[in-house]
Amino acid sequence: MDIPSYLIKQTKTINKALDGFLPKKTEYPKTLHEAMRYSVFSGGKRIRPVFVLEACTAVGGDRKKVLPAACAVEFIHNYSLIHDDLPCMDDDDLRRGQKTCHKKFNEETALLAGDALLTLAFRVLSTVPKASSAEGFKRQLISASWIAEAIGSRGMVGGQAVDLECQDKDIELPTIDYINMHKTGSLIAVCLRVGAYLGGGSKAEVQALFRYGKYVGLLFQIVDDIIDREGYAKSVGVPEARKQAEELLSKATKELVKFGRKSLILNQIADFILTRNY
Whether the pLDDT of residue 146 is over 70: the answer is yes
pLDDT band at 8; cut points 50, 70, 90: very high
What domains appear along the chain, each with residue ranges and CATH number?
3-275 (1.10.600.10)
Query: What is the distance between the alpha carbons of residues 233 and 239, in angstroms, rounded to a whole number?
Result: 8
46-60, 102-116, 148-162, 219-233: segment of lowest average pLDDT? 219-233
Question: Which amino acid belongs to residue 46?
Answer: R
Please give the pLDDT value at position 228.
Answer: 85
Asked if residue 132 has pLDDT above 80, the reply is no
| Cβ-proximal residues to 194 (8 Å cutoff; 6+ apart), any chain | 52, 55, 66, 69, 73, 143, 146, 147
Query: What average pLDDT does range 250-258 have in this prediction?
Result: 98
Segments in 229-263 forming alpha helices (H): 231-236, 238-254
Amino acid letter, residue 169: K
Is the confidence at residue 278, as pLDDT, over 90?
no
pLDDT digits (tens, 9 = 90+) for 55-83: 999 999 999 999 999 999 999 999 999 99
* pLDDT at residue 131 is higher than 60: no
